Amino acid sequence: MAILVVDDAAIIRVILKDVLTRYCGYSKEDIIEATGGADAIKKYKSENPEFVLCDISIPDMDSAEVVKALIDIDPDAKIIMCTTPNNMEDIEKCTLAGAKDYIVKPPKPESVKQVIEKLSGVSVTSKVSVQENKVKETPSQPNEVKILRQEVMMLKSEIDALKDIVATLHVNIK
């Protein structure tokens, strides 16, 4: 079954995809990505995913409005919000709108697994152990890890560059 990952930050989508494939038994083909609220609503309608992992801070819509829209489409939608620890007010708004649970960023495998198990009522342990064995047997794994690390480093430097630009713009505006 498909799972929709909604986050404007590519690095978080990469981390969540890795967690979902390595620890929760999803295949890469099961994971649908959206970068904003409107995109998430469109993809939810077309793909009907089992779960939605949605960032609490998305650029194009208020996250509680996204949750309401998804609940209007499917009253049984299993929406899990992703947030920083100090964002409890927004978590409360999203929960009142229909979100079922939340995880804290950066997402930890055990937290994601626990929430999915809780909402699905099914243990993902058996799927995970089979997948972990496959991962251990794959000879290209060290190269894939190396490539992922390089991608993460590139994304970090892009983020640092964007922070510098924002800081410069902020100073110029004042």
Taking only the tens place, the pLDDT of each residue in 91-109 is 999 999 999 999 998 889 9
Q: Are 80 and 24 in contact (CB under 8 A)?
A: no
pLDDT, one tens digit per residue, over 27-55 is 999 999 999 999 999 999 999 999 999 99
CA distance 1 to 50: 6
Domains of the chain are: 3-137 (3.40.50.2300)
Q: Is the pTM of this model over 0.85?
A: no
CA distance 11 to 154: 10
CA–CA distance from 29 to each of 45, 67, 134 (Å)? 17, 24, 17
| Longest Cα separation, the chain | 57
